[in-house]
């Protein structure tokens, strides 16, 4: 790859024409050509090199979105990266690109609940069947494979419950059956894991989260291998799932400090995980205990860990768990994560979706924490004071 990840973030996408350290923000719907011949030549170039940024209409992108695509492709070490207006748009583009009526997909049980609704319910109307596998028992992937299986869809770690999976084994199963593979890599980002490099065909990241880093923009990316490029290109053109130049500019601005922010998120989260693990009624769902299965599977594939973690709290009283969350003064309460601020959510069982392999006792509750960039001691003090409410 040449330069390191950190250097690429800082040195890529300069605009020497205008002597700017950042590329210009270019907005347009109509692209103007000097002549019809000029327009046709551009179209021919686009057919010959669809990754080259030869646009004839604003929906296809501008120089701003092209620069973000190129930057993310370098970071992902992928063949190409497509941009979408939301992270969930990248999920939809993945499925729309690969699946057709009559196909089946095998998908991780602890998947993002909107992804579950899309695959389990909505796709049924298109005669596409979703089968869910146990992240702790990959033999459930093999058992679900049929001649109709087209895609294995992974989310790692599992949404809210943070199960880490043996990605190499999943890829080996898929390769032996010539099945496409996709992974939602929003938690790790290519800073900690490069899915295309290890063998995945499609890698999803919600740019709304760590890429942006400031909770003020939505976007998604889908990095792909050469094997699936043409399929995704066609679907991307047909759906019109395009990221606006304004959002692309903001995401690129956020990306410049991705490494610095993630290093800080990781450092604080590990220390908070150690603090919380000392509490008898709390199981920390985060890869920090070296003798745990999750740690070993995380360490096998990742170079680091981000700021999102889960807590399994044992309590006789659900209201005391709510009181713990509500009494936190430095943790906001809201969806999404990956920004500079800390967040806390009490995740109800129904919010996990129709999980088939999640076994929670009646006195067990899931709380999700995103550890932000605030002072570590302030966050620990806040948690310590609020933990007193758990009975």
CATH code of the region 258-387:
3.90.1150.10
| CATH 3.40.640.10 placement within the chain | 5-255
* Token reading at 94: 């993945």
Number of Cβ within 10 Å of residue 121's Cβ equals: 11
Place of tokens 């146990």: 134
Rounded Cα distance between 359 and 372, Å, is 29
Bridge-based pairing of strands 180-184 and 129-133 is: unpaired
DSSP 150: E
Rounded Cα distance between 83 and 98, Å, is 17
pLDDT at 1: 46
At 89 the three-state DSSP class reads helix
> Which CATH architecture group holds 5-255?
3-Layer(aba) Sandwich (3.40)
DSSP string, 329-374: SSEE--S---SSSEEEEEE-GGGG-S-SS----TTEEEEEEE--SS
Place of tokens 């606006």: 244
| CATH 3.90.1150.10 placement within the chain | 258-387
pLDDT at 135: 97
* Confidence (pTM): 0.94
pLDDT at 2: 63
- Written as tens digits, the pLDDT of the chain (391 aa) is 467 999 998 888 777 677 777 888 899 999 999 999 999 999 999 999 999 999 999 999 999 999 999 999 999 999 999 999 999 999 999 999 999 999 999 999 999 999 999 999 999 999 999 999 999 999 999 999 999 999 999 999 999 999 999 999 999 999 999 999 999 999 999 999 999 999 999 999 999 999 999 999 999 999 999 999 999 999 999 999 999 999 999 999 999 999 999 999 999 999 999 999 999 999 999 999 898 999 999 999 999 999 999 999 999 988 999 999 999 999 999 999 999 999 999 988 777 778 999 988 999 999 999 999 999 999 999 999 999 999 8
pLDDT at 226: 98
Residue pair 276/310 in contact (Cβ under 8 Å)? The answer is no
pLDDT at 354: 84
| Cα distances (Å, whole numbers) of residue 384 to 230, 275, 378, 388 | 52, 9, 10, 7
pLDDT at 351: 76
């Amino acid at each position: 790859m040449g330069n390191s990840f950190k250097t690429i973030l800082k040195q890529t996408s300069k605009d020497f024409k205008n002597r700017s350290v950042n590329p210009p923000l270019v907005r347009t719907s109509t692209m103007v050509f000097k002549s019809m011949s000029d327009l046709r030549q551009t179209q021919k170039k686009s057919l010959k090199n669809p990754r080259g940024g030869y646009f004839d209409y604003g929906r296809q992108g501008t120089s701003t979105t092209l620069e973000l695509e190129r930057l993310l492709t370098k970071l992902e070490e992928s063949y190409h990266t497509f941009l979408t207006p939301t992270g969930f748009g990248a999920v939809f583009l993945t499925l729309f690109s690969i699946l057709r009526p009559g196909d089946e997909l095998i998908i991780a049980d602890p998947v993002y609940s909107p992804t579950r609704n899309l695959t389990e319910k909505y796709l049924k109307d298109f005669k596409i069947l979703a089968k869910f596998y146990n992240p702790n028992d990959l033999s459930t992937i093999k058992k679900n494979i049929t001649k109709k299986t087209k895609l294995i869809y992974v989310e790692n770690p599992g949404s809210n419950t943070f199960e880490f999976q043996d990605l190499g084994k999943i890829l080996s199963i898929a390769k032996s059956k010539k099945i496409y593979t996709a992974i939602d890599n929003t938690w790790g980002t290519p800073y900690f894991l490069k899915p295309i490099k290890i063998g995945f065909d499609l890698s999803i990241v919600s740019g709304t989260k760590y890429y942006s880093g400031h909770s003020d923009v939505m976007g998604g990316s889908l990095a792909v291998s050469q094997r699936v490029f043409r399929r995704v290109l066609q679907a991307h053109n047909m759906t019109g799932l395009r990221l606006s130049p304004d959002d692309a500019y903001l995401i690129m601005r956020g990306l410049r400090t991705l490494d610095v922010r993630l290093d800080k998120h990781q450092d604080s989260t590990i220390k908070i995980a150690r603090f919380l693990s000392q509490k008898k009624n709390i199981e920390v769902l985060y890869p920090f205990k070296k003798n745990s299965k999750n740690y070993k599977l995380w360490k096998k594939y990742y170079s680091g860990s981000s700021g999102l973690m889960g807590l399994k709290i044992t309590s006789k009283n659900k209201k005391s768990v709510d009181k713990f969350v509500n009494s936190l003064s430095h943790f906001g309460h809201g969806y999404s994560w990956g920004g500079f601020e800390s967040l806390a959510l009490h995740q109800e069982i129904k919010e996990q979706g129709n999980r088939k392999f999640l076994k929670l006792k009646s006195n067990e509750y899931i709380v999700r924490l995103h550890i932000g960039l605030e002072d570590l001691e302030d966050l620990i003090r806040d948690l310590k004071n609020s933990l007193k409410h758990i009975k």
